Chains A and B, each alone.
Chain A
Amino acid sequence: DADVTQTPRNRITKTGKRIMLECSQTKGHDRMYWYRQDPGLGLRLIYYSFDVKDINKGEISDGYSVSRQAQAKFSLSLESAIPNQTALYFCATSDLGLAGLDEQFFGPGTRLTVL
């Protein structure tokens, strides 16, 4: 089974709809992240959480919210979807290892289209 799973894998929705993307992990990592990827722009951080009680905004948090339901679950919501939120969304997890390297591991992604 995959260590990091995301649901749904693909979603088409309409402008103004509320959408939730879910991420679950079995890696036992404390840190979880949500990114979006747009062609030519690389990965941009939306929100991140270093533990269940810690939620932080990333560089592009406007229009998004998150919930850390448990160590293993981190959900991203689009309260009122708009077309420029059409993108590929990735969840990632990490744990600060002994070497001090915060290596992040990515889920398979959710392709979201907002019409």
Chain B
Amino acid sequence: QKEVEQNSGPLSVPEGAIASLNCTYSDRGSQSFFWYRQYSGKSPELIMSIYSNGDKEDGRFTAQLNKASQYVSLLIRDSQPSDSATYLCAVSRSNDYKLSFGAGTTVTVRA
């Protein structure tokens, strides 16, 4: 079992719609959770971090964490063509703060 698993994608959504990205993790002791956005050929860019159960909103992005279900999600509201990218879920282990990354989900927003 992979430590961090994401929807394989690709995910295609129309402009203005909500894009929903899912991520599950295997280490029940994980403490911190991150979403990175990576444009093709570029480096990952941190867009959201969350460490408590519930929702965290930042602009058009909402991260949702459910530690009991070992599940973290990212919602992108009012999707724009500029949101077209690969989104990486990352999880920090409880004892050493190293990040484990999922393989990423590629999102395409259709104009």
Listed in ascending order, the chain A residues whose CB lies under 8 Å from chain B are: 31, 40-45, 48, 58, 90, 94, 96, 99-109
Contact = CB atoms under 8 A, between A and B. Distances in A.
A106 B47 CA distance: 12
A99 B51 contact: yes
A48 B49 CA distance: 21
B34 interface: yes
B46 A103 contact: yes
Interface in B1-46: 4, 31-32, 34, 42-46
B86 to A, nearest CB: 10
Interface hub of A41, A58, A103, A104 (most chain B Cβ within 10 A): A104
Given A42-B88, A96-B97, A108 B42 contact: yes
B27 to A, nearest CB: 14
Contacts of B98: 45, 48, 58
A108 B44 CA distance: 9
A100 B44 CA distance: 21
Contact of A103 (B34, B43, B88, B102): B34
B43 A107 contact: yes
B101 A108 contact: no
Contacts of B49: 101, 103
A72 to B, nearest CB: 18
A42 B97 contact: no
A90 B44 contact: yes
